[in-house]
Amino acid sequence: MKRALLALADGTVFEGKAFGAEGETLGEAVFNTSMFGYQEILTDPSYVGQIVTMAYTEMGNVGANLQDEESLKPHAVGMVVRQVSEEPSSWRASESLGAYLKRHGVAGITGLDTRRLVRHLRTHGAQMGVISSDGASAKALVERARTAPGMEGMDLATGISTKQAYTFTTPTPHVLGPVPAPPKHRFDVVAYDYGLKRSMLHFLVDEGCRVTVVPAHTPASEVLALKPGGIFLANGPGDPAAVNGADRAVAELLGKVPIFGICLGHQILALALGGKTYKMKFGHRGTNQPVKDLTTGKVEITAQNHGFAVDAKSLEGRAQVTHLNLNDDTVEGLAIPDARAFSVQYHPESSPGPHDARYLFARFAALMAGG
């Protein structure tokens, strides 16, 4: 393995070995506390423009396969791991993690102290970084990271959104055996693609939805012309306040049909209500975030991936805060009962993660059914 460096904007430099694609990559350095699910994480469009550090010590044990992808390719621009296994031990594996990253042109670095790196990002915040195996000096790499623009003010969702509308009718596939037949068609749903994960569409279809996926900038009038039974606001990357026209479109849709938002969709719903969002110090990324449902008192363990959050005070008198993160009291859920709209900051589809919150897709179906 070639020598590689990870340089952060604040001048901190880590030395390791290159794996995956060699060369240089620039992105926001963040960390994920999941012990597993690296392929779903890499292919989650919410990671556009980010270098993902996996806090758990070893990755690559089960290799990579086509079934675990959340989109057509990795969207993370770099990966940092303590130790990488290049001999996968799974009957589902078609290649190693390193080979998978190399095939997709994603640079990785291994052999560095990821515990120190995660603690550094937790203390000093997520920041721009560079992975390089090209032999550039540490000083030059730090300067590149320091002068790179950050995530605030960046509309990344529009850039990765679908360019044309399409219909999705495939239910959740089984690991073994053929894809099951779609359930009986009950609802027509329009899904705004801000960078959605494939598993979200599967779970909507499981509830009897025929989903029409539309570009992020689609006007409300075009959506209503499709006569949907419900609107789904997907996850995605970047600054929610920068997504061109999204909050205005959702504001026009409020009260006309049931609305369900996840992650970036949750933040855009808050903006449509006149609320505000803000950049978090290091965000929530992992499969072990405790969230309390304030309406029931129940605590769920959730999967999360976001660097922005909703300002609770900005929503006073506009929406009901339904969920809170028990680690830092950030807003994790909203409801606007009169408008038949609700949203969550976390990922009920998991992929990877616990299944505690998957019932929310059934809740959306119940709203559309008039329940």
pLDDT value for 282:
97
Predicted confidence band of residue 174 (pLDDT cuts 50, 70, 90) = confident
* 219 and 304, same domain (yes or no): yes
pTM of the model as a whole: 0.95
Per-residue pLDDT tens digits for 90-114: 999 999 999 999 999 999 999 999 9
The single-letter DSSP state of residue 254 is: T
Is residue 222 one of the residues assigned to a domain?
Answer: yes
* 208 and 331, same domain (yes or no): yes
* 120 and 170, same domain (yes or no): no
- 147, 166, 187 — which closes off a domain? 147
Of 75, 202, 323, 347, the catalytic one is 347
User: Which segments of the chain are extended strands (E)?
Assistant: 3-8, 13-20, 24-32, 50-54, 58-59, 78-81, 83-84, 107-110, 127-132, 166-168, 187-193, 209-215, 230-233, 259-262, 277-293, 299-310, 320-325, 331-336, 341-344
- Show the tokens assigned to 65: 């396969």
Of 69, 70, 300, 349, the catalytic one is 349
Residue 176 has pLDDT above 80, yes or no: no
Is residue 27 one of the residues assigned to a domain?
Answer: yes
Is residue 273 one of the residues assigned to a domain?
Answer: yes
Residue 178 has pLDDT above 80, yes or no: no
What is the enclosing helix (H) or strand (E) of 117? helix 114-124
Q: What is the CATH number of the domain that holds 51?
A: 3.50.30.20
Are the beta carbons of 7 and 107 closer than 8 angstroms?
no
- 128, 147, 166 — which closes off a domain? 147
Residue 182 has pLDDT above 90, yes or no: no
Average of per-residue pLDDT values in the chain: 96
Separation in Å, CA 58 to CA 43, 54, 104, 326: 19, 9, 21, 28
| 201 phi, psi to nearest 5 deg | -65, -40
322 vs 320: CA distance, rounded Å? 6
Q: Which amino acid is at 218?
A: T
* 173 and 277, same domain (yes or no): yes
Is residue 359 one of the residues assigned to a domain?
Answer: yes
What is the mean predicted confidence (pLDDT) over 281-303?
Answer: 97
Cis previous bond, 352, omega within 30: yes
Residue 179 has pLDDT above 90, yes or no: no
Q: What percent of the chain has pLDDT over 90?
A: 95
276 vs 274: CA distance, rounded Å? 7
pLDDT value for 1:
86
Of 120, 263, 284, 306, the catalytic one is 263
Residue 202 has pLDDT above 80, yes or no: yes
326 vs 71: CA distance, rounded Å? 30
Predicted confidence band of residue 371 (pLDDT cuts 50, 70, 90) = low
230 vs 249: CA distance, rounded Å? 14
Active site residue 349: yes
More confident residue, 179 or 212: 212
| Sequence-separated (6 or more) residues with CB below 8 Å from residue 317 | none
Q: What is the CATH number of the domain that holds 299?
A: 3.40.50.880
- 147, 181, 203 — which closes off a domain? 147
* 90 and 161, same domain (yes or no): no
* 195 and 302, same domain (yes or no): yes
* 182 and 42, same domain (yes or no): no
Residue 352 has pLDDT above 90, yes or no: yes
Active site residue 347: yes
Per-residue pLDDT tens digits for 39-68: 999 999 999 999 999 999 999 999 999 899
Give the domain extent around 323. Answer: 157-368
* 134 and 219, same domain (yes or no): no
| Sequence-separated (6 or more) residues with CB below 8 Å from residue 358 | 203, 348, 349, 350
Is residue 14 one of the residues assigned to a domain?
Answer: yes
Is residue 152 one of the residues assigned to a domain?
Answer: no
* 328 and 285, same domain (yes or no): yes
Question: How many domains does the chain fold into?
Answer: 2
